[in-house]
Amino acid sequence: MAYKVFISYAERDSDLASDLAQRLEKVGSQVFTVQDLAPGEDWATGINRALENSDEVIALLTDHSVQSQWVMTEVGAAVSLRKRITPIAVGSPQIPSLLQKYQFIKYSELPQYIVELQQRAQPANSAKRAPESSTKGVKHVRVASR
């Protein structure tokens, strides 16, 4: 099973997100975004499903997206699920304080990020059947609220 990447982005940046998705797909990753919701599926259920299944998450940060409720909500979900998150900054957006502890990369550094992602993706892409999701903390999260 392919390595799955979820991209969180603002609608106004859909061209950028599309370009990013193509570059990821070219190296064999499967990309999910809000566009992949099943017909009639509500946003929260769909996004959670996509995030739970993803191997890592990209937050595309632009002047638009840092103001976006949708993007911040998706980031919150990704953090809560203990997913690896990489904020990618296009231009010089005001990085939200809640993302400040995350190592973010500039859009120009994308090629290097993709190379590193391919390395992370190796086990997933070469295995006939993907192992159980090894995302640390997911199961822990589910029982923590006893």
Partner 1 sequence: MPKVNQPHRTHSAGRSSAQYVVFLSHSSHDNWIAGVMAEKIRAVKAETWLDEKDLEGGDILVEKIIQGIDACAEAIVLVTPHSAQSQWVAFEIGAVRAQHKRITPILYGVSPESVVTMKDVKAIELDSFNEFLSQLKKRVAAK
Q: Which residues bind partner 1 (CB under 8 A)?
A: 42-44, 48, 51-52, 66, 69-70, 72-81, 96-98, 100-101, 141-142, 144-146
In the complex, the smallest distance separating the C-beta of residue 110 from partner 1, rounded to whole angstroms, is 24
In the complex, the smallest distance separating the C-beta of residue 137 from partner 1, rounded to whole angstroms, is 9
3-state SS string for 47-84: HHHHHHHCCEEEEEECCCHHHCHHHHHHHHHHHHCCCE
Which of 145, 142, 135, 112 lies closest to 57 in space, CA to CA? 135
In the complex, the smallest distance separating the C-beta of residue 15 from partner 1, rounded to whole angstroms, is 22
For residues 55 and 74, which CB has a smaller minimum distance to partner 1 in the complex? 74
Which of 49, 51, 62 lies closest to 20 in space, CA to CA? 62
For residues 101 and 129, which CB has a smaller minimum distance to partner 1 in the complex? 101
For residues 86 and 118, which CB has a smaller minimum distance to partner 1 in the complex? 86
In the complex, the smallest distance separating the C-beta of residue 47 from partner 1, rounded to whole angstroms, is 8
30 three-class SS:
strand
In the complex, the smallest distance separating the C-beta of residue 142 from partner 1, rounded to whole angstroms, is 7
For residues 56 and 74, which CB has a smaller minimum distance to partner 1 in the complex? 74
Helices then strands, counting H and E runs in the chain, come out as: 5, 5
For residues 36 and 52, which CB has a smaller minimum distance to partner 1 in the complex? 52
Q: What letter represents residue 27's amino acid?
A: V
User: Phi, psi (5° rounding) for residue 32?
Assistant: -125, 140
